[in-house]
Amino acid sequence: MIRALKKSEIPGLNTLPPKEWEFDYETFLLDFIDKEFFQAFVMHHEGEIIGTGNVFLKGKIGWLANIIISEKHRGKGLGFQMTQYLIDHLNKRNCETQLLIATELGEPVYRKAGFRKLTEYQSFESVTEFDFTPSTSIRPLKEIDLEAIYQLDEVANAESRPHLIDKFYTTGQGYFNTENVLVGFYLPDFGRGLVIATDKKAGIELLKLKHSKLGRKTLLPVENKAGISFLEDIGLKKGARSARMLLGKDNNWSPEYIYSYGSGYCG
């Protein structure tokens, strides 16, 4: 049986995600469960929660996220059942474009449900600290920068996401050109640390800022050759690839402007 998650059921759900995700699922759920654009579902079996799935929906674009089946119940088609449930939920709400980020394990399940692969993300991880000198073009973001952040993010992602950016911009940094126009930004608390830039120099400088700290992880679309080349050149550890997949109407995003995606729940 699949139904909506109750807030009281969140404690204990950190046991569900695979360890390699290094994901505090309970904190994530508590952050979003009361938001109108978010809904979480659980799959029950004999009184036990054995699976979960989330959706983010704003306008005509929806994201499927955290489709997880407990290890002992995998291989029974339950991941497909949860995926189809989320698809149906979004369809009932007139969602025209459904997106998700798939692991290697999940990709065949989503293909079976009708999703098609758009591209791949390559992951990188800092295994040492780098002594980068911060660019003088970078400064903390302010409330007056919000409209420029929204516009830049929409150019890259072809989505309107103020509902997410408002939550994370206060700890962010922006790269401003000689005309004091925002051409890139870094939101360290948005998932793994969102970096968007329409200017290559800005994107690289913001990646330097991000990876000056040990343990930072970056996933970026393979179309962003400048970002990948930089991360390879400084010797970051390459990790697994993941797939961006779509069901329904295309959205005209610009992957070359994404220097670090935020999270699997929103790309």
The kind and range of the H/E element at 41 are strand 38-45
CATH of the domain at 246: 3.40.630.90
Q: How confident is the model at residue 126 (pLDDT cuts 50, 70, 90)?
A: confident
20 pLDDT exceeds 90?
A: no
Which residue has tokens 């591209």? 119
Domain of residue 166: give its range: 124-260
CATH of the domain at 79: 3.40.630.30
Same domain, yes or no, for 241 and 183?
yes
The answer to the question of residue 251 being in a domain is yes
How do residues 90-108 score in pLDDT, each as one tens digit?
Answer: 999 999 999 999 999 899 9
The pLDDT score that the predictor gives to residue 166 is: 97
Same domain, yes or no, for 248 and 153?
yes
Over residues 181-205, mean pLDDT:
97
Same domain, yes or no, for 128 and 256?
yes
Same domain, yes or no, for 164 and 232?
yes
The pLDDT score that the predictor gives to residue 24 is: 93
Output the six-digit token pair for 56.
Answer: 């983010």
Same domain, yes or no, for 14 and 139?
no
Q: Is 43 helix (H, G, I), strand (E, B) or coil?
A: strand
The pLDDT score that the predictor gives to residue 42 is: 96
The pLDDT score that the predictor gives to residue 138 is: 98
Residue that terminates a domain, selected from 46, 75, 95: 95
Same domain, yes or no, for 58 and 184?
no
How do residues 24-78 score in pLDDT, each as one tens digit?
Answer: 999 999 999 999 999 999 999 888 899 999 999 999 999 999 999 988 888 899 9
Same domain, yes or no, for 91 and 129?
no
The pLDDT score that the predictor gives to residue 13 is: 94
123 pLDDT exceeds 90?
A: yes
Q: Beta strand 38-45 with 2-4: parallel, antiparallel or unpaired?
A: antiparallel
186 pLDDT exceeds 90?
A: yes
The answer to the question of residue 108 being in a domain is no
Looking at the structure of the chain, the number of domains it has is 2
How do residues 136-165 score in pLDDT, each as one tens digit?
Answer: 999 999 999 999 999 999 999 999 999 999
Same domain, yes or no, for 138 and 251?
yes
**pTM for this model (two decimals):** 0.94
Q: Is 133 helix (H, G, I), strand (E, B) or coil?
A: coil
Percent of all residues in the chain with a pLDDT value above 90, rounded to a whole number: 86
In the chain, alpha helices (H): 25-32, 78-92, 107-112, 146-157, 162-168, 200-210, 225-233
Same domain, yes or no, for 159 and 75?
no
Same domain, yes or no, for 90 and 136?
no
Same domain, yes or no, for 173 and 213?
yes
Least confident of 70-79, 170-179, 251-260: 70-79
Long-range contacts of 198-206 (CB under 8 A, 24+ apart): 198/152, 198/155, 198/156, 198/257, 199/175, 200/226, 202/137, 202/175, 202/177, 203/227, 203/257, 203/259, 204/230, 204/259, 205/134, 205/135, 205/137, 205/138, 205/175, 206/138, 206/173, 206/175, 206/259
